[in-house]
Amino acid sequence: MSRESQPVLPGTPAQPELPGTLPDHLRAELIAFRRDLHMHPELGHQEFRTTAAIKARLEKAGLRPRVLTSGTGLICDVGTWDGGRPMLALRADIDALPIPDAKTHVAYRSTFPDRAHACGHDVHTAVVLGAGLVLAELDRQGLLPRPVRLLFQPAEEVLPGGATDAIASGVLDGVGKILAVHCDPRVDAGKIGLRAGPITSACDRLEITLEGPGGHTARPHLTTDMVTAAARVATDLPAVVARRMDARSGMSITWGRIESGHACNVIPMHAELSGTIRCLDIKAWHEAPDQIHAAIDEIAGVHRAKSEITYVRGVPPVVNDPVVTELLRESMTARRGAESVEDTEQSLGGEDFSWYLEHVPGAMARLGVHPPGASVKKDLHRGDFDVDEAAIGVGVEFFTAAALIDGHRALIDGHRARPTT
């Protein structure tokens, strides 16, 4: 039977159950794969072991992965693209965070003192790998209606994100739409969260250096009172900018580091502040640098401090395409029923998946990783973050359903577009 005659869409009377479920032996393997990555986390642009492990498993399945030109990360096509209708891409990020793993009760704790998979990228990687292996088996059986590209992207945590380098290397060539998941500890395992339109926020990095003549704490009037100047910048900047930007933009300035001085009776000559700027609105994101520069100069000037500002552009908001979001809703419903999909809000977190959506339509879903019934919900970017590993199988079957449903629709559209004779 030809591929084009294989029915894969759910919900029509003559069609069998949607294929692409995860066999138990592969489920166990993917959990073990995720735990191995969790024990060996690698930071952005350093994911050599992770890349090699993914590549080896895909090659074992008879696939032909290609390492990105940056040396880490890879793409792999399941099925052969003939240059016709564009492919669907499934994206995972593979890097870890530079924080200690604080878990003490699991055997797969990080083996590196200051690195941890505290954002769930190990889960994202296992999900896309598993989906690729399942889809490869369906392709061998003639059940994959259209090729699918697997994208394992490095350096998501390094602004402006490894996505920009991946795009420049051609990972979207032949791709018509792109999907991703991100772990969400607020959503129970077995469910996903969806939102059409913006689902994350823009995120930039701000570094400020203040300089001025220091001196004795007995005579602050003869100095630039640097600690006070830094404190005023830290407290006043968010308030000043909030009055200069549309309140609906959701602008948030939050500090992660303030340093100044070494002795209690010495007014320092130098202070540094580092933080992030996040906003919900794309227009406000474009306006933010000018507004923030002006406000810092004004506040520092009042205290006779000279300011040097480094504003690092990060990522725009992830804006989910409504049609692709509906594909994700249908796919999860086909696997686990309508009750497995819940609406979610736009967060202030940043994600470089947004850069792909500047080129092709796509959508990101929030993958539930919270153990159902557990009282404590551990947030992302915490050293004790962990997941309910049942989420891996849920993500795999969710992605395979999306690939099959989308691929079958592409075939139907292709038939309709053909001229009659």
DSSP string across 122-149: HHHHHHHHHHHHHHHHHHHTT--SS-EE
Q: Which pTM was predicted? A: 0.89
At residue 377, the pLDDT reads 79
Residue 7 has pLDDT above 60, yes or no: no
Closest of 356, 340, 322 to residue 395, by C-alpha: 340
What is the average per-residue pLDDT within 142-169? Answer: 96
pLDDT (0 to 100) of residue 326: 98
Please determine, for residue 60, whether its predicted confidence score (pLDDT) is greater than 80: yes
Buried b / exposed e along 89-117 (16+ C-beta atoms within 10 A) = bbbbbbbbbebebebeeeebebeeeebbb
Q: Which helix (H) or strand (E) holds 181?
A: strand 175-188
Mean pLDDT score, 46-55: 98
Over residues 137-158, mean pLDDT:
97
Average pLDDT over residues 252-281: 96
What tokens does 236 get?
Answer: 């006043």
**What is the predicted pLDDT for the residue at 82?**
86
Cα 313 off chain centre by: 17
Q: Specify the pLDDT at position 9.
A: 44
Give the confidence band of 357 by pLDDT, cuts at 50, 70, 90: very high
254-259: average pLDDT: 96
At residue 419 the predicted structure's pLDDT band, cuts being 50, 70 and 90, is low
> Is residue 96 scored above 60 in pLDDT?
yes
CA dihedral 135, 136, 139, 140 (to 10 degrees): -140
Q: Nearest-5° angle of CA 308, CA 311, CA 313?
A: 170
> Would you place residue 6 in the very low, low, confident or very high pLDDT band (cuts 50, 70, 90)?
very low
Mean pLDDT of 74-87: 92
Cβ density class 195-226: b for 16+ within 10 Å, e for less: bbebbbbbbbbbebebbbebbeeeeeeebbbb
pLDDT at 366: 98
CA–CA dist 409, 123 (Å, integer)? 29
**Model confidence at 420, in pLDDT bands (50, 70, 90)?**
low
Query: In sequence order, which residues have a C-beta less than 8 Å from that of residue 256 and are 6 or more positions away?
Result: 274, 275, 276
Looking at the predicted structure, is the pLDDT value of residue 49 above 90? yes
Confidence of residue 120 (pLDDT cuts 50, 70, 90): very high
| pLDDT range class, residue 83, cuts 50, 70, 90 | confident
Average pLDDT, the chain: 93
349, 199 contact by CB (below 8 A): no
Mind listing the pLDDT tens digit for each residue in 406-418? 999 877 766 565 5
Determine the pLDDT at residue 282: 84
Given this model, what pLDDT does residue 1 score? Answer: 35
Least confident of 14-28, 169-183, 194-208, 367-381: 14-28
pLDDT tens, residue by residue, 132-143: 999 999 999 999
Tell me how far the alpha carbon of residue 256 is from its chain's centroid.
21
